[in-house]
Amino acid sequence: MKINIYYGGRGVIDDPTLYVINKMQDILDELNVTVERFNLYELKNSITTLPQTLKTADGIILATTIEWYGIGGFMQQFLDACWLYGDKEKIAKIYMCPVVMSTTYGEAEGKLNLTVAWEILGGLPCSGFCGYITDAALLEDNSDYTHFIEKKTENLYRTIKQKLQSFPASNQAVKKMVSITKNIDLTPQESEQLSHYASDDVFIKRQKEDIIELTGLYRDMIYNDAKEEGEEFVIDFRNRFKPRAGFRAVYRVNIADRKKPLIIDVSGAALDIAYNDKSAERADVEMSVNRETLDEIVKGRMTFQRAFMTSKMNAKGDFMILRTLDSLFDFVAAE
């Protein structure tokens, strides 16, 4: 059995939550449970990648301290990441024990918030506990408190060990009926990779630079009176061309509602691209795509490979050459 502990406090010495989870970890170690601890304040730059750590867990402990209002930003970020990038099928099998200590008002509400959040994620909440403790020394000097923590930890162990079931929660049904969250339509593996991007400051900076660059590019295109319809997508390909020494290929792109195909002729550092009637027999790869999908690609919202894998683009010819399109034309920032 493996239990992960996610601590959302600030890590101060007199934090009562630290005493509680340290005690719980000692008890779980005695029960031969594998325990892995994640201090969110130490991992604040990579919180969005933490949902992937749930994959090996049978149960988790969400522990946080209320110092003035609410469960705190680190814990909220972690729950947001679980919603956006977590594997919901895996979460549905994970038991969660909320532990909330308060040095001010609101420990009961904090515990309820963690329970409801985990239910909405589809997980299995356990009976956690909360308390108002102004000084961590009060916990150390009181044997009744220690006994209470031991019993709660043992109950968590039994719940996970026996895989105890509970009645369905109504907020699951309500979420299905009224939720307006857009479906990202990504596999768990793609969500995990996206979570890495979201925590990568260099990637985010590059994306912002690309957005500024593309904004200027499209503004110039819109207000350029000399631009003709025959230039559609041509400028995009020219601006994002990344030459590859010694590479030679011809691509024929049939765009819906266009009479002439877009021919992309690459020869090393030379790029010849235009709408014309060159024979398809000369093309190494022939593709068929609608204008909307191609527009998504040149805006960096989709790759040629993903368009092909999701059947939004059809292709025939040399598929090894097809896969080079995403590296030849850098519409999406590289990892």
Number of C-beta neighbours around residue 242 at 10 A? 10
And the tokens for 290? 């609608």
Domain boundary among 133, 150, 182: 182
For residues 15 and 98, state if they share a domain. yes
Residue 309 belongs to a domain with what CATH number? 3.30.1050.10
Residue whose structure tokens are 């990344």? 242
| Residue 20 in domain | yes
Domain count for the chain: 2
| Residue 147 in domain | yes
Q: Has this prediction a pTM greater than 0.85?
A: no
C-alpha distances out from residue 112 to 19, 107, 129, 229, Å: 21, 9, 10, 58
> Using 50, 70 and 90 to split pLDDT, how confident is the model at 225?
very low
Gap between the Cα atoms of 59 and 221, Å rounded = 54
Cα Rg of the chain (Å, integer): 27
Of 14-28, 34-48, 269-283, give the lowest mean pLDDT range. 269-283
Residue 72 belongs to a domain with what CATH number? 3.40.50.360
For residues 114 and 7, state if they share a domain. yes
For residues 117 and 215, state if they share a domain. no
For residues 99 and 238, state if they share a domain. no
For residues 209 and 155, state if they share a domain. no
Note down the domain range covering 13. 2-182
> Using 50, 70 and 90 to split pLDDT, how confident is the model at 60?
very high
The confidence score (pLDDT) of residue 233 equals 86
For residues 21 and 160, state if they share a domain. yes
